[in-house]
Amino acid sequence: MELDKNFTLSEDINGPLLAAVIGIEMVVGLIANLLVLILTACHLKTWKQPSTIFLTNMLLNYLAMITLLLPISIITCASGEWIFGTTLSQKMTICRAIAYIFMTSIVIATESLTLLSFDRFIFIVKSFWYKKYMTRNKAMIMIVVSWFLAVIVCCPLYMKGGFEFSQSSGLCIPAVKNQIGFAVYGFIIFSSLIMSIIITSMWTYCYTRKYLKKRSTERNHMSSVYLSQKRRLIGLFGMLIIIHVLCYTLLIAFVIIEPFQPVSYRLYAASFVLTWLMTILSPLAQAYFRYEIRSIVQSFLIKIWSLFSSCNTTNSNM
C-alpha cells in the first residue's frame, strides 16, 4: 500500500462493489447510531449517569466517522480515482486533511473505550469514589479533554505530512512505511491507551469474579439487584471490547506484517470493511445491553405486533 500520486484505485479492487458494501455500512451505521442516540435523548433520567455520557460520546464519534469519511471512500471507489482537487497540490492538501480526520477519529474511538473502562473500574472496584467524585459535569469535562488531546496528538501527522492514499479503500490514511518516527509516536499513543484498557479491565474482571463468587451463596434481594446491574455493565463493556478487537485486529495485523511480507490490496480492502463494521456493531451492542433502550424498542415492537394482529383479526371477521 503505497502513496499513489495519480490517486487511482488499484486494478485489483472492484471499485463499484466496494463502494456498494461501504455504502450499505454507512446507511446501516447511520440509522443504528441515530436511533440509539435519539432513544438515549428521550430517556432523560439516564443523563445523570456518567456512563450514559461516555456511551453517547462514542456514538457521536461514530457519526462523525460515518458522515466525514465513508462518503469520501464511497465516491473514490465508485469513480476509481481521487476526485477531490484539480491540481496535484490541491489533492495532496485534501488528502492530508482526510488522513488527519481518520487518525483523529480512531484516537477518539480508542479514548472513548479507555474512558469507559475507567468509568467501569471506578464504579465497580471503587464504588465509594464513584458516588463522590464521578459526576455528569466531570464526565463532560473528561470527554472535552479527550477530544482536545486527540486533536493535539494528531497534529504531527498534519504538520509533517505522514500520510498516503490507500489504493485499497479510496481514503487517505496515516503512513507508517518509511516513517519510523511517526510509527513509534503512534505506537506509544495507542499502546498507552490499550494498556490502560487492559489493566483496568483485568482488575475489574478479577474483582467482579471475586464479588460474584462471594455473593453467590448469599440470599439477599438487594445484593441480587446490585449483582444484576454489575453483570449488565460488565456485559456491555465486555462486548464493546470484543467488537473493537474484532474490527481492529485484521488491519493492525496487516500494518505490522507489511514491512516483512507484502499484503494484497484485496486483503486491505477487507480489513477496512471490517473496521467500519465497528460503527454498526457498537450501537447494536448498546441497544441490547442498555435496559432503558431495550425496553423502549421492545415496547414499540409489541405495539406494532398488536396493531398488526388487530388488523388481521378485523379482516378475518369481515
What pLDDT, in 10s, does the model give residues 7-44? 888 888 999 999 999 999 999 999 999 999 988 888 76
What local confidence, expressed as pLDDT, does residue 221 receive?
47
What local confidence, expressed as pLDDT, does residue 156 receive?
76
Backbone angles phi, psi at 81, to 5 degrees: -155, 165
Q: Where are the domains of the chain?
A: 15-302
What local confidence, expressed as pLDDT, does residue 222 receive?
44
Neighbour count for residue 146 (Cβ, 10 Å): 20
The C-alpha cell at 177 is: 512505511
Backbone angles phi, psi at 259, to 5 degrees: -60, -25
What local confidence, expressed as pLDDT, does residue 206 receive?
78
Listed as ranges, residues in the chain with pLDDT below 50 are 1-3, 221-223, 225-226
What local confidence, expressed as pLDDT, does residue 120 receive?
83
Looking at domain 15-302, its CATH architecture is: Up-down Bundle (1.20)
What local confidence, expressed as pLDDT, does residue 64 receive?
94
pTM for the predicted model, two decimal places: 0.83
